[in-house]
Amino acid sequence: MTLSYVYPGTFAMKRGALEHPTFAYETWGTLNAARDNAILIFTGLSPSAHAASSPDDPSTGWWEDMVGPDKPIDTTRFFVICVNSLGSCFGSTGPASINPTTNAPYRLAFPILHLEDIARGGAAVLDHLGIDVLHTVLGSSMGGMTVLAFAMLFPTRARGLVSISAAARSQPFAIAIRSLQRELIRSDPDWEQGNYPLDQGPLKGMRQARKLGMISYRSADEWAERFGRERASSTQMEPGAFGMEFEVESYLEAHALRFAGRFDPNCYLYLSRAMDLFDAADHGGTLGEAFARVRLERAMVIGVETDFLFPVEQQEELAVELARQVPDVQFHRLASLQGHDAFLVDMDRFRPLIARFFA
């Protein structure tokens, strides 16, 4: 069940502020008496706080294989918290939420979002729950970057850190892809400069942005194995043959259609840009200096060789810099075929690593 914490007062952001924003989160397991068995999960761009099913909400979570009783993140031992990112649209305050001072949706009046704001939101939830120090802060993709922001803003609030398929900053290639995704949304006339009716909006732009996202989340090798040159079952001959000829084309269309109605376009734009803007080195002159204040005991960085959004070399660099400050750092370079998305699908590779870290 998603819980809501309404922040009492003004929530300061990196640029600007929000009046009593809501933070949506879910928890699994029980906080122990020492209050030292909590794991905080930051998510990628699109998931909600519903990482796993629970008696209150039996629907499948986005990391169902990983979080639960006797699973790698074992909820019989740990108190697990997953927060819906500030700026998202699954319960936490974002551009689609009502601004209490105007009684209208924020839309583009929402302050420019940074991953540091999302990290501060997580910390606010911890304050609310009475948790000073986490066993581990963990995140994947955008969540893995948010974990770094959290560690730098609150250098003593976590003993362990896990970063999965993330990096200390985005490369221009990843920025270019996200920039074009945003352009596809913003150039859809139905975006209306951000003022679309909240139940409609730029579906075409969202569909196209999602297709580009999927192209960047997987790997060429996976698709070659999976689709080859298989033809779509319902090929229609049309002038120029521009219809769905290949199976990979109808696969993308089906997935994009499913996503487009489910995620608020303005929220997508804000979260996407926040990933571009993040640079861990902003917390120090260099990455090393930024990490210098961090008081972690252990860290694990997991990267995937076929990830071209966050290349594994960037993740290795992150592990190397962490290792200068943190006594116990593991780096795992996985040969998954599934690219950036591997942590959601290649469970046979990820499960043992996560299980061992928390054993």
Would you name the residues annotated as active-site residues?
A: 141, 307, 340
Counting contacts by CB under 8 A, is residue 6 touching a copy of itself?
Answer: no
Residue 257 host element (H or E): helix 247-260
> For 312-340, b where at least 16 C-beta lie within 10 A, e where not — what string?
bebbebbbebbbebbeebbbbebebbbbb
Contact 206, 268 (CB under 8 A): yes
For the segment 309-348, give every residue that binds a copy of itself (CB under 8 A): 311
Q: Measured over all CA atoms, what is the biggest interatomic distance in the chain, rounded to whole angstroms?
A: 69
Stretch that binds a copy of itself, among 24-32, 148-156, 164-172, 283-291 (CB under 8 A): 164-172
DSSP letter for 167, please.
-
- Asked if residue 92 lies in contact with residue 83, where contact means CB atoms within 8 angstroms, the answer is yes
Where do we find the tokens 């209306």?
A: 192
Task: Identify which range of 5-13, 72-80, 185-193, 295-303 contacts a copy of itself by CB under 8 A.
Answer: 185-193
CB 27 within 8 A of CB 76: no
Residue with tokens 């192209």: 215
How many chain residues are in contact with a copy of itself, going by CB under 8 A? Answer: 56
Identity of the residue, 121 or 311, whose beta carbon is nearer to a copy of itself in the bound complex = 311
Task: Indicate which single residue of 159, 186, 349, 351 sits in contact with a copy of itself (rule: CB under 8 A).
Answer: 186
Name the residue nearer to a copy of itself (CB basis): 73 or 274.
274
- DSSP secondary structure letters along 214-225: HHHHS-HHHHHH
- Residue with token string 């996202």: 213
Site for a copy of itself in 206-265 (CB under 8 A): 208, 211-212, 214-215, 219-220, 223-224, 226-229, 239-242, 245-249, 252
Give the footprint of a copy of itself on residues 141-160 (CB under 8 A). none
Is position 169 an interface residue for a copy of itself (rule: CB under 8 A)? yes
Q: Specify the DSSP class assigned to residue 246.
A: B
Any residues with CB less than 8 A from the CB of 250 and at least 6 apart, and which? Answer: 232, 233, 234, 244
Residue 183 makes contact with a copy of itself by CB under 8 A: yes
Residues 258-277 that bind a copy of itself (CB under 8 A): 266, 269-270, 273, 276-277
User: Does residue 283 interact with a copy of itself by CB under 8 A?
Assistant: no
Q: Which residues is 80 bridged to in the sheet?
A: 28, 39
Please give the Cα distance from 116 to 137 (Å, whole number): 14
Print the binding letters for residues 49-78 with a copy of itself: x by CB under 8 A, - otherwise. Answer: ------------------------------
Q: What residues between 102 and 141 interact with a copy of itself by CB under 8 A?
A: 108-110, 112
Binding residues vs a copy of itself (CB under 8 A): 95, 108-110, 112, 169-177, 179-180, 182-184, 186-187, 189, 194, 204, 208, 211-212, 214-215, 219-220, 223-224, 226-229, 239-242, 245-249, 252, 266, 269-270, 273, 276-277, 279, 308, 311
